[in-house]
């Protein structure tokens, strides 16, 4: 076995065996773990990917007043378009996405835009995000998902932090501003000073 094609090498690595000369070395490759992790993320998908039109993305960024110095968290970041738009304003932008294919696509979109120094995508369940570093949170989720995130948003975000949602509100938490773009609705909330 002097020459291994890449695909043959991949097959060997998948099965945890690597041939070196006449001897085999067993590597601790855990395909089952990787597949289980991907399956675990797949089972946690709570929102389908439906991209916001660019006009809506631009309006969300405008309504939130995104600027240099902001830390923007985009929940369910899809192909990365909101993250990229925020980074173009000079903000540090972080997208959270559970779909591995979309994570790869959005990272490539960030690379193509030349914004790797300001933007990143994390392969993470949005229900596990710590919002405390963010100054702006953007989302295009579903009403029940917004409501699941609401307690953590209210508890973890600092006063003055802004939340912008495309299409869906947060129940009895009244937005301070509502905008319409091409028949779509954008909601804005600002975290007020905490009383205690």
Bridge-based pairing state of the strands 119-123 and 92-97: parallel
- Same domain? For 19 and 78 the reply is no
Query: pLDDT tens-digit profile of 41-97?
Result: 444 677 888 899 999 999 999 999 999 999 999 999 999 999 999 999 999 999 999
Residue 12 forms part of a structural domain: yes
16 or 99, which is more confident? Answer: 99
- Same domain? For 123 and 153 the reply is yes
Task: Give the pLDDT score at 44.
Answer: 61
CA distances from 146 to 3, 11, 53, 118, 123 (A): 54, 42, 20, 26, 19
- Same domain? For 77 and 171 the reply is yes
- What DSSP designation does 72 have? E
- Same domain? For 185 and 113 the reply is yes
Give CA–CA dist 184/30, Å, rounded. Answer: 45
CB atoms within 10 A of CB 43: 9
**Structural domain of 137:** 54-190
Structure-token match 């995104």, residue found: 66
- Same domain? For 27 and 102 the reply is no
The yes-or-no verdict on residue 110 having pLDDT over 70 is: yes
CB atoms within 10 A of CB 91: 23
What is the domain-level CATH number for residue 121? Answer: 3.40.50.150
pLDDT band at residue 119 under the 50/70/90 scheme: very high
- Same domain? For 58 and 155 the reply is yes
Angle between helices 54-64 and 81-88 (to 10 degrees): 50
- Same domain? For 68 and 93 the reply is yes
- Same domain? For 36 and 79 the reply is no
Q: Confirm if 162 and 189 have CB atoms less than 8 A apart.
A: yes
- Span 110-126, mean pLDDT? 98
- Same domain? For 22 and 63 the reply is no
- Same domain? For 18 and 71 the reply is no
Query: pLDDT tens-digit profile of 134-178?
Result: 999 999 999 999 999 999 999 999 999 999 999 999 999 999 999
- Same domain? For 64 and 113 the reply is yes
Give CA–CA dist 196/194, Å, rounded. Answer: 6
- Same domain? For 114 and 59 the reply is yes
Residue 168 forms part of a structural domain: yes
The yes-or-no verdict on residue 4 having pLDDT over 50 is: no
């Amino acid at each position: 076995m002097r020459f291994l094609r890449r695909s043959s090498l991949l097959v060997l690595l998948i099965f945890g065996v690597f041939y070196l000369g006449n001897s085999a070395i067993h590597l601790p490759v855990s395909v089952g773990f990787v597949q289980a992790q991907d399956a675990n993320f797949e089972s946690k998908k709570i929102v389908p990917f439906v991209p916001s039109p660019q006009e809506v993305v631009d309006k969300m960024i405008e309504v939130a007043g995104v600027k240099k110095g902001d830390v923007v968290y985009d929940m369910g970041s899809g192909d990365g378009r909101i993250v990229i738009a925020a980074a173009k304003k000079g903000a540090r932008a972080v997208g959270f996405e559970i779909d591995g294919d979309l994570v790869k696509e959005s990272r490539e979109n960030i690379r193509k835009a030349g914004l790797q120094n300001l933007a990143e995508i994390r392969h993470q369940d949005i229900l596990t995000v710590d919002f405390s570093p963010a100054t702006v949170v953007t989302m295009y989720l579903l009403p029940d998902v917004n409501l699941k995130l609401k307690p953590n948003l209210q508890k973890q975000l600092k006063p003055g932090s802004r939340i912008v949602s495309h299409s869906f509100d947060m129940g009895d938490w009244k937005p301070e501003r509502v905008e319409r773009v091409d028949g779509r609705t954008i909601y804005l909330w600002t975290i007020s000073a905490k009383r205690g």
